[in-house]
């Protein structure tokens, strides 16, 4: 049986027509005969087809549909994010109290405890997206977001994303002593890809930084593309936790605009300036729209209260 065309088409894993040619009499030429034909040896007779042989089958190998070549490892966009390590010296120059460098400090233990409790709640409910905000400016929202992110990132093989969504007064880059790369506004609007905005500070911590205040702060978070972009980010990066640092709740409506994108809110109260009525006002604004996962009491020592209560 003449099975040459079958093998030829199949072994090339491509449509049979691209590698088999028809001679003038309509029979299929083998590769060797075709070469001779091209060299001007067309007078060599093509193999005579046996009329009793079954008709030549044309097999078009169906393309194998895989997202990535079978031989290469599965692409992980987390690993492809730029790695921009945080320099210890720059940390100190930034002057921010970062517990990562003071592991014996009670504050470090308090953040680790907060981390553990938060993770328990998130896992129990299948949540991952947390907004961090304070009632008023200067309570320690960024301080909490950065230190909690670093505490979470100490868990081996975990993935934490920290994003600065405080377009009123962005300060995560400053706190970490990092040069701000990226553009949150354009990223959220879907105008620049994930890997041009996000970077990794370590194997387990990705950052989305904001450079300057933006006069259209509220509109950025109201943009319908914002939700789609962040949804895609979580689909692609598979983070365990995403922390969003937001502006003060009682001063701006940014957090309320952003609530559809989060599973819960961590409120940061400042023991030296936050009043009970501030917390009550925040809870009232969030009531029925999201869960308040906890109220963190910052600067408790100076206020005489117990430190960092959740
Ligand atoms: N517990 C703390 N101990 C020492 N400094 C703190 C503490 N909490 C906040 N700060 C400092 O106070 C300032 C205001 O805190 P920040 O987190 O920027 O407030 P917010 O983001 O709520 O406006 C920052 O310089 C921060 O480093
Ligand atoms: Mg801040």
- Residue 152 predicted with pLDDT over 90: yes
With b for 16 or more beta-carbon neighbours within 10 A and e for fewer, the 12-50 pattern comes to eeeebeeebeeeeeebbbbeebbeebeeeeeeeebeeee
Domain boundaries, the chain: 1-65, 77-303
Indicate the pTM of the whole model.
0.76
Phi, psi of 2 (to 5 degrees): -85, 95
| Atom of ligand 1 at shortest range from CA of 175 | 27
If you average pLDDT over residues 98-118, what whole number do you get? 82
If you average pLDDT over residues 112-122, what whole number do you get? 95
pLDDT score recorded for residue 37: 35
Q: Is 128 in the pocket of ligand 1 (CB under 6 A)?
A: no
Contact 227, 233 (CB under 8 A): no
- Residue 133 predicted with pLDDT over 50: yes
3-state secondary structure 175-217: HHCCCCCCCHHHHHCCCCCHHHHCEEEECCEEEECCCCCCCCH
Model pLDDT for residues 27-63, shown as the tens digit of each residue: 444 444 344 333 333 333 444 445 555 544 444 444 4
pLDDT score recorded for residue 70: 54
If you average pLDDT over residues 221-245, what whole number do you get? 96
Query: For domain 77-303, which CATH number applies: 3.40.50.300, 3.40.50.2000, 3.90.1150.10, 2.30.30.100?
Result: 3.40.50.300
pLDDT score recorded for residue 216: 87
Cα separation, 206 vs 47, whole angstroms: 65
% of the chain beyond a pLDDT of 90? 58
If you average pLDDT over residues 8-16, what whole number do you get? 28
Model pLDDT for residues 166-190, shown as the tens digit of each residue: 999 999 998 888 887 789 999 999 9
Residue nearest atom 15 of ligand 1, based on CA coordinates? 140
Phi, psi of 186 (to 5 degrees): -70, -30
The rounded Å distance from CA 48 to ligand 2 centre is 84
pLDDT score recorded for residue 88: 56
Q: Order of strands, edge to edge, in the sheet holding 241-245?
A: 82-83, 199-202, 205-208, 160-164, 241-245, 129-133, 264-270, 291-298
Q: Is 111 in the pocket of ligand 1 (CB under 6 A)?
A: no
Cα separation, 149 vs 145, whole angstroms: 6
């Amino acid at each position: 049986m003449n099975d040459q065309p079958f093998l030829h088409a199949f072994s090339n894993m491509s449509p049979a027509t691209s590698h088999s040619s028809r001679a003038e009499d309509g029979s299929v030429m083998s590769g060797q005969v075709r070469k001779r034909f091209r060299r001007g040896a067309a007078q060599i007779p093509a193999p005579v087809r046996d009329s009793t042989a079954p008709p030549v089958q044309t097999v078009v190998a169906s393309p194998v549909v895989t997202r990535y070549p079978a031989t290469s490892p599965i692409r992980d966009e987390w690993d492809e994010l730029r790695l921009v390590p945080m320099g210890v010296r720059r940390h100190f120059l930034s002057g921010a109290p970062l517990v990562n460098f003071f592991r014996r400090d009670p504050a470090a233990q308090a953040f680790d405890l907060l981390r553990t409790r938060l993770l328990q709640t998130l896992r129990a409910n299948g949540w991952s997206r947390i907004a961090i905000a304070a009632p008023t400016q200067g309570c320690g929202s960024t301080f909490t977001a950065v230190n909690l992110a670093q505490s979470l990132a100490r868990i081996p093989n975990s993935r934490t994303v920290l994003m600065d969504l405080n377009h009123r007064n962005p300060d995560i880059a400053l706190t970490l002593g990092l040069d701000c790369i990226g553009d949150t506004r354009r990223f959220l609007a879907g105008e620049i890809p994930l890997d041009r905005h996000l970077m990794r500070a370590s194997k387990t911590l990705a950052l989305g930084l904001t450079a300057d205040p933006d006069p259209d702060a509220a509109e950025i978070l109201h943009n319908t593309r914002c939700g789609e972009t962040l949804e895609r980010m979580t689909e692609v990066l598979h983070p365990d936790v995403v922390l969003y640092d937001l502006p003060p709740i009682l001063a701006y409506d940014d957090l309320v605009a952003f609530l559809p994108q989060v599973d819960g809110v961590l409120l940061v109260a400042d023991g030296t300036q936050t009043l009970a009525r501030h917390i009550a006002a925040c809870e009232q604004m969030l009531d029925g729209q999201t869960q308040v996962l906890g109220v963190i009491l910052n600067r408790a020592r100076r206020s005489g209260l117990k430190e960092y209560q959740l």
